[in-house]
Amino acid sequence: MPKSVELFWTRTMPDHDEKDDGGRSPDMMGRRAVLLGSAGAGSFLGLLPDFARAAGPDNDVGTVWWSELIADDPEKIAGFYSRVIGWQSRRVALDDPARAPKPGEQAYTLLIAGQNDVAGILKADSTTAGKDKPMWLTYFQVTDIDASAAEAKKQGGTILFGPVAVGGSARVAVIADPGGNRFGIASPL
């Protein structure tokens, strides 16, 4: 018989309960999950109450701007997230997200919650930041992408990609911090 037993409890309280009592969740609270995709891309994934506002081009500096999954099989992985989270998906041309990709053109898969694009999936190839393994990549908004990239390098980081303009909406760069952790920075155009 063990000397002690650790007990763990969990309580689920729907968001509407606190509203009914006159309270509200702070904007940065929400539900979170740790997922391991079928291609092996594990990640902490924060799903906030108003995800479209929490991850998008109108954010404040230092906040999450976009989340992108680098994957070997975007269509298969999009199906996984559709079944697990409920996201829909749409394939678009990487260089022009307003249209479908032409045959032989590089595609990008948008993940959609309701009417909002909330994340994307890029096929892993020799030019992507996740070429050695599938991975989620989070982009944070910065004011001056060139200055931020230069500072990252000065502080011991490695610039893996960019800065470069993408999709007519922003300039982005992918960086590895001194510990090898990859993240993106973005500066809306």
Greater confidence, 139 or 166?
A: 139
Q: Strand 182-188 to strand 135-141: parallel, antiparallel, or no bridges (unpaired)?
A: parallel
- Higher per-residue confidence, 9 vs 130: 130
Which of 99, 67, 176 is closest to 131 using CA atoms? Answer: 176
Distance CA 59, CA 48 (A): 14
Under the banding of pLDDT at 50, 70 and 90, the label for residue 125 is confident
Confidence bin at 24 (pLDDT 50/70/90): very low
State the chain's mean pLDDT as an integer: 75
| Confidence band of 126 (pLDDT split at 50, 70, 90) | low
The per-residue pLDDT for 28 is 40
Q: Where are the beta strands (DSSP E) in 31-115?
A: 31-36, 42-47, 64-71, 88-93, 107-113
Residue 59 · residue 65 · CB < 8 Å: yes
Quick check: 181 pLDDT over 60? yes
Confidence of residue 91 (pLDDT cuts 50, 70, 90): very high
- 27-81: per-residue pLDDT in tens? 444 444 444 444 444 443 433 333 333 444 556 888 888 899 989 899 999 999 9
Asked: is 27-188 a CATH 3.10.180.10 domain? The reply is yes
CA distance 80 to 38: 8
Q: Is residue 17 over pLDDT 70? A: no
Torsion of CA 136, 118, 159, 61, to 10 degrees: -130
Give pLDDT, residue 185: 94
**Tokens found for residue 83:** 């079944």
Per-residue confidence (pLDDT) for residue 129, from 0 to 100: 62
* Angle, vertex CA 98, rays to CA 58 and CA 188, nearest 5: 25
Query: What per-residue confidence (pLDDT) applies to 13?
Result: 47
The alpha carbon of residue 160 and the mean position of all alpha carbons in its chain are separated, in whole angstroms, by: 17
